[in-house]
Structure 1
């Protein structure tokens, strides 16, 4: 209803402006016609005055004609007749002009009366529009007072109103909201206290949430930093182990080449594939190698890791079991080379491997279920029996 009254007020103001414009035009036309009438009246007065002067001139001529002697009259008669003729002609022209001016005056008066008659409806409409505008202004003031009394947010209401909304729809919304308010029942006087408690609880939860968000952000930053450092360290370790692996593999196999290959783009999630190519064989994965080649490849990989970060002790359990004599000798030479930094404890049944040991510890079982340990210090034996020392 408020929107409808607003629209009616705007229409009334528009019509009032149009009526005032038409009234101003009619007044201007009336003033123009009045000016023309005054001018015509002045022309009529001038023509009447000229006609009077011409009549007076004729009378004066007639008197002069009568006063003249017959001889002089005959002489001046023609002149007077000419003057009379010209005066009569001027009088006729003046009368004709007077008739035309009178006719124009009549037309002007008719136009003025017609303008007066056409102006009256416009004045009536202006009065009617002024009354409508006053009524619409009163309605607007009443609605404004109602909105102020309810403390309504006019800006929010203006955003929700659209030009295509119909008054019936708005009236239906008002009815629906009124029913909804009535359905709420009586006012809860403790609502303000409850609101204060809920607001305090919300502020506390908001602060807790802010702390949690800050902690999550800190943890995420730490995770990203750890991931970055882990990637860098893992990539550096992988590259160094891969380099050592490619150096030790040819030593253990007497040739060939090998490398480590990542199976994915992300280093933290990808796996590692061992690519080994013993001498005389095509490049293949470790799954296609024989048992001895797999064992020797695994030994090369373990030794590559030991070279990266040497440990003080290393325990090897029958690593040389699947190796032939040539590979066992290469394996023994590698162990001797690395024994400068690491002490090796290995279990073996291979004589070639036993020859490189500094000390032998044997386990025997002469009686069932009873084990005995026999230890031999190879350095003391070599010193006591030089002929038994390894070459």
Structure 2
């Protein structure tokens, strides 16, 4: 609008100068003695008219340029608005999914914590049971020692019994000889029954020692432990179910990540091939996954074929070719996923003037979506930027920052 107002003002001034020129010419025809003065005024008016016409043409060009920039800006604003709506929707979806996952993880974490507490309690009970078992083993050891002592006593008693039987036989013989007692069988039967009774009593005492002390609440303890084991088994089943649910969620997340990574990788691959050819002025390039079946764990192989060379791995290229290939990959990534801000520190240090010009053409295209700050010593890079900042030292130990708006100088 300002340019149109200036253009209208220039037209009015031009018309005024033409009117003045006509008046001067009429006066020159009628007044010959004022001819020289009028001719000078006419000459100045013609010069002013030419200047106004040049200004009018310049304003026309500026107006056309401003209208083009306005149209491009409107298109860019519409694209940004559309992209913003898409990002807002995606952010809302991702936030909802993240919230659900966090709630599920919190629930499963609580279940795992409860299971760990129950497991710790069960381990404590197992330790107590082991200690009780050790105590029972100690009682068994003592019972065995007592049994050995009883067996030793029994051996002594058997030895004594043998002696008594020998004495008894001697006494029976003496009774037969001296007192003529003939009922030897009855006497022997009586003695044998006594011996068997003593043996039966010894065996029952050994069995009682092996059984140990009687526990009155053993059945109730067994029932309580059985219920506890059943409860812990149900808790274990819940933990296993939760674990399977978490594994399913992780698998689903991995699938979503793998899908998004594959889509982004395909876009970056196409952009990399295009930017590589633009920077090298031809050639071929390729991005490959070392393991396409596992994209999230796979490495990335970069193949490059500069003009006039064979297709080979990036490790076999020269230093400048490696740097330019890496720059192509960086620019391709920024083209697919632009960032609001990008700082490049002497990225053109290993490039010649021709490659630097090509790089600046790519950066100029990317600058529509990303603000770039370049640290450089290259003249070609300095000539291609919009604003140039420099640090000088007019005095020792005193730094001074200067800036030049190259866009204003060009206009």
TM-score normalised over the length of structure 2: 0.47
Q: Normalised by the size of structure 1, how large is the TM-score?
A: 0.49
Which of the pair has more CA radius of gyration? 1
Q: Answer 1 or 2: higher relative contact order, Cα 8 Å, separation at least 6.
A: 1
